[in-house]
Amino acid sequence: MTQHHNKQRRQILQALASAGLLSTVYPLMPALAKQQQMSLVPKKTVGNADIFDFNIARTTLEIDRQLTSQAITINGTIPAPLLKLKEGREAVLRVKNALDVDTSIHWHGILLPYQMDGVPGISFAGIKPGETFEYRFPVVQNGTYWYHSHSGMQEQLGHYGPLVIEPEAGEDIEVDHDYVILLSDWTFDSPAEVMRNLKVAEGYYNYNQRTVADFFEDVEKMGWQSAWQKSAMWGQMRMSPRDILDVTGSEYTYLINGKASAGNWTGLFTPGEKVRLRVINASAMTFFDFKIPGLEMTVVAADGQPVQPVKTDEFRIGVAETYDVIVEPTADAYTLFAQSQDRSGYVSATLASAPGLTAPIPDLYPRVERGMEAMGAAHAMHGDSAMNTDQNMAMDHAKHDGHQMSEPKSVDSVSHGPDNHGPGAAMVVDKPISRLDDPGVGFEHLDHRVLTYSQLKSHHGWPDKRAPAREIELHLTGSMERYMWSFDGKKFSEVDGPIRFYQDERLRLTLVNDTMMDHPIHLHGMWMELENGHGDLRPRKHTIIVKPGERVSALITADAFGDWAFHCHLMYHMKAGMFRVVSVA
């Protein structure tokens, strides 16, 4: 495509975007979409700087055929247009706030000076109504990322978009089509209302709780005694094996590139061509399981960083993670299928060789239930020893209501330690285990391949070869009943200072999940090199899923001076206090 055409196309796109017509008209214009079907953030170039303009505003638009006026958009669309940067150049990002409240944009996964990271209260004051803030930083990396608000709960309302950085030397994987597949979850209710429901009514959105019928199903499968033991064990802990996602398909409309299944986003190819899908999970709360029935995927990058190719049939993508996959479709049409981790809903889209072609939409997998692995190794081995509490006098409970799970159970279990993290932590895992070779709960019945963290292997080692000189261990803690989420039992407002990293030190960060939920833990400003058993070939990540009962570790080079947010990327967990500042100095 010539420069002239590009410009013309951009003008058309801008006109469409400002008229709010983009989503309806775009599928009719596949001819324009050779490289990217998504609209781009318009670029101006001055010397070595690429200048982009963003306008953040409340916009009335249609989502899944329903009009909504609560959307907060960047340049008028959900998701925001694609921001395409180039490695080696200077990015100048001018963000105008046309809202009546503060806003911000955080460039997720991008290495930059901390003042440019876009977290109000940490990097800067935020962008006041009517103000324009200019972000400026050198682009020193490449790959698939995204950008979103770090203010209030704006992220839930459409304030997110894809960010792709072209390598300085050009793409090293040649493809015929390059599509962004941005997954998100939309609610027509106000996020404040969702938060309140989570806070006052445990399990408000969970319509997959265990029933009496499930108990009798267990009896049929494993006999009275085992069924009773299983039920008693979860009951003893006051934990539900069906707590998979806090906000489910009962509330959310799931979207691919802003379209629900009915909108059927379609990417085109000619059979035999090579297609790169840049899959981004921009959800507030939803882990997705992504597959394309009948089409093998080759994972080539995770969180924007290249990995040695892994062929797979399905992968779980946590909130805020990204995966690049290469596919080589030969049939007429394929369904892109992303089901929520709890199977309460899905969103589908299509890869087709001609507009209008579709493929069958697969069934949701059976509903998900956690097993004993969620409690770490100790419980998997000594499950029934937790059932020895007496229940005679109600008054007793206030006294011995500690954590039965933290009591030493046998000589071979490593005790969690004396700290049970206080009233904000409903459980502690006595003996957390590595679950890197486990794709996660809900795939047990499958006979096809599902990606695991242990399969991710970088092409080469990273510059900092030092062994860690220091270790920091943090526990992910929470209590579903009051919807309290924290690190080490203390929410952000309860700690009296940041986590300290010393300038340029090499350290190991160990995360232990003492809850019944998966948490996507995100560190701003620095890579986490996931220690997953491949020696120096650690994959670098900005967001790491920690499964229930799991202990994972990552190496970090603290080379980024300043303050950085560190938090669970489930938005309502973050808002509830699962948030810290890391200060590098």
Partner 1 sequence: MQLFKGLSAYSLTLALLLVLGAGQSLADGIGLQADPSWPKPIHDDMAYGQLMFDRLEMQSIEGSEQLLWDAQAWYGKDLDRFWLETEGSYNDDHSGEIENLDLQYSRRISPFWDLQTGIGTQTSFGTGAKQERYYGIIGFQGLAPYWFEIDSNLRISDDGDTWLDLEVEYDWRLTQKLILQARAETSYAFSEVEDFEQGQGLNGITTGLRLRYHLSREFAPYIGVSASRLLGDTKDLAESEGDEDSTATFVAGVRLWF
The secondary structure of residue 243, as a DSSP letter, is -
Q: What angle do CA 441, 447, 448 make, to 5 degrees?
A: 85
Closest CB to partner 1 among residues 358, 404: 404
Strand partners, 160: 148
- Min CB(415)–partner 1 separation in Å: 18
- Min CB(126)–partner 1 separation in Å: 6
- Min CB(251)–partner 1 separation in Å: 11
Closest CB to partner 1 among residues 396, 536: 396
513-540 burial, b at 16+ Cβ within 10 Å, e below that, comes to bbbbbbbbbbbbbbbbbbbbebeebbbb
Q: Where along the sequence are the contacts to partner 1 (CB under 8 A)?
A: 102, 114, 119-122, 124-126, 150, 196-197, 199-201, 204, 207-213, 232, 235-238, 389, 391, 394-395, 397-398, 401-403, 422-427, 479, 481-482, 484, 491-499, 562-565, 574-577, 579-583, 585
Closest CB to partner 1 among residues 164, 484: 484
Distances (CA, A) of 180 to 175, 222, 474: 13, 45, 34
Closest CB to partner 1 among residues 25, 585: 585
- Min CB(199)–partner 1 separation in Å: 5
Handedness of CA 548, 551, 555, 561 (dihedral sign): positive
Closest CB to partner 1 among residues 115, 358: 115
In the block, residue with structure tokens 């101006």? 44
Distances (CA, A) of 201 to 10, 195, 365, 483: 48, 10, 27, 9
Dist CA 46 CA 265 (whole Å): 35
- Min CB(125)–partner 1 separation in Å: 5
Q: Supply the DSSP string of 396-411, one letter for each residue.
A: HHHHH-S-GGGS--ST
Give 151's Cβ-side CA count (13 Å radius).
Answer: 21
Closest CB to partner 1 among residues 23, 156: 156
- Min CB(153)–partner 1 separation in Å: 10
Dist CA 432 CA 409 (whole Å): 14
Q: Hey, what long-range contacts does 528-534 have (CB within 8 A, 24 or more apart)?
A: 528/554, 528/555, 528/556, 529/462, 529/554, 529/555, 529/556, 530/453, 530/456, 530/554, 531/555, 532/436, 532/453, 532/454, 532/456, 532/457, 533/436, 533/454, 534/457, 534/458
Closest CB to partner 1 among residues 86, 367: 367
- Min CB(376)–partner 1 separation in Å: 17
Closest CB to partner 1 among residues 133, 290: 133
Closest CB to partner 1 among residues 60, 209: 209
Secondary structure (H, E, C), 327-388:
ECCCCCEEEEEEEECCCCCEEEEEEECCCCCCCCCCCCCCCCCCCHHHHHHHHHHHHHHHHC
- Min CB(160)–partner 1 separation in Å: 18
- Min CB(435)–partner 1 separation in Å: 24
- Min CB(437)–partner 1 separation in Å: 31
Closest CB to partner 1 among residues 315, 579: 579
In the block, residue with structure tokens 């200072």? 497
